[in-house]
Each structure stands twice: as structure tokens, then as C-alpha cells.
Amino acid sequence: MSKDNFETSAIRTQIEHTQFLENSSPLYLTSGFVFENAEEMRASFTEEKERNIYSRFTNPNTSEFVDKVCKMEGAEDGFAFATGMAAIFSSLAALLNSGDHIVSARSVFGSTHVLFTNYFPKWNITTSYFNVNEPDTIESLITPKTKILFAESPTNPAVDVLDLELLGKIANKHNLILVVDNCFATPYLQQPIKFGADLVVHSATKLMDGQGRVLGGITVGRKDLIREIYLFSRNTGPSLSPFNAWLLSKSLETLVVRVDKHCENALKVAEFLENHENVNWVKYPFLKSHPQYQVAKKQMKKGGNIVAFEVKGGIEAGRSFLNSIKLCSLSANLGDTKTIVTHPASTTHSKLSEEDRLEVGISDGLVRVSVGLEDVSDVINDLNQALQ
Ligand SMILES: *Cc1c(COP(=O)(O)O)cnc(C)c1O
């Protein structure tokens, strides 16, 4: 899909006009929809007639959001969820049976890791993990019970990059369903389906909303798999609210211009940090020093908005860096207009042992910066004074 088509899809994918011929889609805050008569109601429930029944199943605003993301990702179909975690949990729960096995990258979003290690085993679903820097070990983990290959790229918070083409080949060879969490890249920078992903999941909370306002999630991909996910979700209730869908669909109209600017600012921040005397190393997919720079160049349009770096002096230096920040926000979110800094070792990942943290690429001095849309010189000045 050319960039022109991509932007046009992001702006022009729209539900039918009402009789008022509005230019911007209205908000359909309604829990249910009415039927003309008993026959229409019967035909709707048997799916002989395709239409909205109840907003736990479908709603015009969620349909617009789903159609749009499908076009942007090159996907056949999709379903929208209340959060990114609802998308991940419901999609996998819909497809997996007791006894099934997942092979996953070890560096995945924290709650995804908790889902795989603490909750799925309750239903006899187990997970084996591979180190993102040792993809040649993936095949040795696959068993006859393996059904899902799960990964995210770039990873959170260490900004490692996985070769999606390689994952696609492995999944195809072993007949696995490849699920890619594409949250950090957005469909603008990377389209995993092109590389063989069967399903793409997103936390729409991040760059899709882009302004730190609402939670949302979405899964798009193969029609037969989405059908299973739809039936599971329509009965279990993790659906996205029409209001959030309406807002997210509007946000996608500006995704390209926002993400372009995020990437431009992030690259400047990364280059600044790379030359700073109090920084050990910097990881950003489009820095030549990134270990997977070539892979990033192959599969991503730009480097994204997340920069990871290691401040000299370990956990204490990381904590004092955070305490010295003046402009940037200390917050758990990312992908906001506002630049956000976090220090995983003393906060989100403080319960892990140092050894377990290092396994997922979190050293004691690691700082994650979600670069926002402020004047980048103000962001750089803030990071600089905090590093002194
Ligand atoms: C935030 C995030 C999630 C979870 O999304 P929520 O909307 O917070 O539930 C999943 N994966 C990644 C990579 C994320 O950054």
C-alpha cells in the first residue's frame, strides 16, 4: 500500500452518512438497536441478516475503527477491545484449548508476561520463552502442542527488534499462528501481516490515541481466526466502548503526521544521548549502533518514539535521574504528546530479581523515554540537566 493510500484510508474510512450528511462521523452512544419486526429480529440473530444488534457485539463507531485499522494493517477483519490487554487475553483465550502451548519472546509487555506465566497455566496452557537476541533457539522450543508464536517488536522497554520475516517463516513451517503486538510501531511504521503474521494486536491506548486520553485495543488479521475471536468476545464482553472507538477513529486521521514528528524528535533525543558522557549506551532502532539496525531498516519505515538508554551508576543513578526531571512526565503510559520517562528497575520491574531483569534486557540503569511532540530542544535540555 503506498503512503498516499495509507493516509487516505486513515482519513476517509468512514461509516455511512446519516440523512444529515455530516462530514465527521457522529457518535452512536446506544447499547441496543431496534428491529422492524419479529422476522427481522430472528434473521439478525441467526446472522442471515448482517446488522447491529447490541453494542457488546458491534456498534457503528467500533465498526469504523475496526475497518480503518484493517485497511491500515492490510488485514481481512478485526475486533476492537476495551484495552490492549483485553485484545491479547481474549484473542488467545478464544483460540487456545487446554493442553495447548505458546512460544513467546521473553521480552513482552509486563501484563502479557503475567498472563502467560500466572493465569494461562490455570487452564493448562503453557508458555516457553526465547531470548529476543537468540532467535535460532525458537524452533527447539516448538512441540506438537505448540499453537501460537507470540512476539512484539520493538520490545518494551528495551527497544529490541525481532526479525518479523524470520518469525513468519518459522510459523509457516510449523503451522503456528503468529501473533505480533505491533503497539510500538503502529501500522504506519510496520505491517506485520506482510511478513507472515496471522494476527496483529494493538494497545490503541498508546500512539493510536496519541494524546493519553482513552484506553483501547484491537486485534486484526485472518478472517477465520477473527471469527473465533468475535464469537468468544461477543459472549464474554471485553468490547470497546463506542465513545472510545469514535475518539480513536478520529485520532487515526492524524496518526501519520503525529508519528512522523515523534520519530524525528526521538532520533534527535537518541543522537543526543549517544554522545553524552553519563550514558553507557543508547538503543533506538534507527541508530546505526542498534544491534538489529539492519532488521529495523528492513521492516520499519522509521524508528518509532521510544528510546532506551543506560545511565552510568546503576539503580541509584537511575532513581536520581528520575528525581531530577523537571519538564518530562514520570508516568506509566507511553505514546503521548507529552514526553514520558520511566526507570523500570526501580518501578515497573522492581519485583523481579536482577537476573530476571537482565533476561528481558532491563539493566539497573535502564531508562525508557517515550518521546513526545514538545519542542525537542526543551526535552533534550531537561534530559541533559537531569543527567548532570
Ligand atoms: C500498553 C501495552 C499493552 C497493553 O495495553 P493496555 O491498553 O494498557 O491494556 C500491550 N502491549 C504493549 C506493547 C503495550 O505497550
Question: Which residue has a Cα nearest atom 12 of ligand 1?
Answer: 109
Beta carbons of 266 and 371 less than 8 angstroms apart:
yes
The tally of CA atoms less than 13 A away on the side-chain side of residue 256 is 14
Residue of 341, 329, 333 lying closest to 366 (CA atoms): 341
Q: Please tell me whether residue 220 adopts helix, strand or coil conformation.
A: strand
The reported pLDDT for the residue numbered 4 is: 53
Predicted confidence at residue 213, as pLDDT, reads: 97
C-alpha 340 – ligand 1 centre gap (Å): 15
Nine cell digits for residue 184: 510500538
Mutation probe of ligand 1 site: the residue of 89, 113, 156, 201 with most atoms within 8 A of C-beta = 156
Instruction: From 206, 240, 251, 306, give the residue whose CB has the most ligand 1 atoms within 8 Å, as the site to mutate.
Output: 206
Q: Which atom of ligand 1 is nearest to the CA of 217?
A: 7
pLDDT above 90: residue 352 = no
**Domain residue extents for the chain:** 6-252, 255-387
SS3 for 107?
Answer: coil
**What's the CA gap between 199 and 77, in Å, rounded?**
10
Residue 36: the pLDDT is 92
**Predicted local distance difference test score (pLDDT) of residue 348:** 79
Closest residue by CA, ligand 1 atom 4 = 84
pLDDT one-digit tens code per residue, 274-288: 999 999 999 999 999
Does 262 score more than 70 pLDDT?
A: yes
Asked whether the beta carbons of 187 and 72 are under 8 A apart, the reply is: yes
Question: Does the structure show a pLDDT above 70 at 3?
Answer: no
Rg (CA), the chain: 21
Q: What angle do CA 328, 329, 332 make, to 5 degrees?
A: 140
Ligand 1 atom nearest the C-alpha of 155 is: 13
Give the tens place of pLDDT for each residue, 207-224.
999 999 999 999 999 999
Distance 98 CA to ligand 1 centre (A): 25
State in Å: Cα 202 to ligand 1 middle. Answer: 7
Tell me the CA–centroid distance for residue 336 and ligand 1, in Å. Answer: 13
Task: Write out the CATH class of domain 255-387.
Answer: alpha beta
pLDDT surpasses 50 at 1: no
Q: Which residues line ligand 1 (CB under 6 A)?
A: 83-85, 109, 152, 156, 181, 183-184, 203, 205-206, 215, 217
Residue 86: enclosing H or E segment and its boundaries?
helix 84-95
CA distance 62 to 29: 11
Counting from 1 in the atom list of ligand 1, the atom nearest the Cα of 152 is: 13
Given pLDDT bands bounded at 50, 70 and 90, which one contains residue 354?
Answer: confident
Residue 337 in this model has a pLDDT that exceeds 90: yes
Q: What is the mean pLDDT of residues 298-313?
A: 97
CA distances from 92 to 95, 136, 229, 314 (A): 5, 25, 8, 37
DSSP 362: -
Reported as a single tens digit per residue, the pLDDT across 11-39 is 999 999 999 999 999 999 999 999 999 99
Label residue 357 by pLDDT band (50, 70, 90): confident
Q: Is the pLDDT of residue 2 over 50?
A: no
Residue nearest to atom 1 of ligand 1 (CA): 203
**3-state DSSP assignment of residue 81:** strand
Buried-exposed string 277-313: b where 16+ CB fall within 10 A, e elsewhere: ebbeebbbbbbeebebbebbeebbbbbbbbbbbbbee
Whole-angstrom Cα distance, residue 303 to residue 189? 8
Q: Ligand 1 center to residue 49 CA distance, Å?
A: 35
Edge-to-edge order in the sheet of strand 126-130: 77-81, 217-221, 199-203, 177-181, 146-152, 101-105, 126-130
Q: Ligand 1 mean position to 39 CA, how many Å? A: 42
> By alpha-carbon position, which residue is closest to atom 11 of ligand 1?
109
Backbone dihedral region for residue 200 (phi beyond 0: left; psi -120 to 50: alpha; all else: beta): beta
Name which of 344, 299, 349, 360 is nearest 104 in CA terms. Answer: 360
**Fold assignment, 6-252:** Aspartate Aminotransferase; domain 2 (3.40.640)
